Amino acid sequence: MKISELCKMIEDSFHSGKYPVDVQQKNFTEFVEVINRSNTEDLNSSDIKIEIRIKNLYTINNYVPRISHLPGIIEVDVLDSFKMLCRRSARVEPDKPGDDIRLSSKTSHNFKDQKIVEESI
């Protein structure tokens, strides 16, 4: 399997709701991007880099080929990174110019071209 194929499969799983996430995190699943930032498509490469992005927040994880069950490890790490990015987004101060992620007191998430509102429970 190519690295980009693995990234696309994981990203599609987020978009289809396959992964168990909190109510507030569900608002972000359609904005998740999982991107191969390696210089290769080979899972046996000496330096694999995967970027996980939600709008302007992102993290990059790197891997070496000697990790057992590498595709599964990458999938779990992407899910963990997604949850970390959701926590970061909750700390973004509202109404800062240039922010793609803004939060109100009712956990509403307003993106530049799209508005998603989730009332607090």
| Bigger pLDDT: 66 vs 107 | 66
Side by side, which strands form the sheet with 109-111? 102-103, 109-111, 114-116
Predicted local distance difference test score (pLDDT) of residue 37: 97
Predicted local distance difference test score (pLDDT) of residue 120: 39
Alpha-carbon span 23 to 7, nearest angstrom: 24
Measured on CA atoms in the order 76, 15, 4, 85, is the torsion positive or negative? Answer: negative
SS3 89: helix
What is the pTM assigned to this prediction? 0.76
SS3 116: strand
pLDDT digits (tens, 9 = 90+) for 103-120: 433 444 444 444 444 443
Per-residue confidence band for 9, with pLDDT thresholds at 50, 70 and 90: very high
CATH entry, 3-94, from 1.10.10, 3.30.160, 3.30.750, 3.40.50: 3.30.160
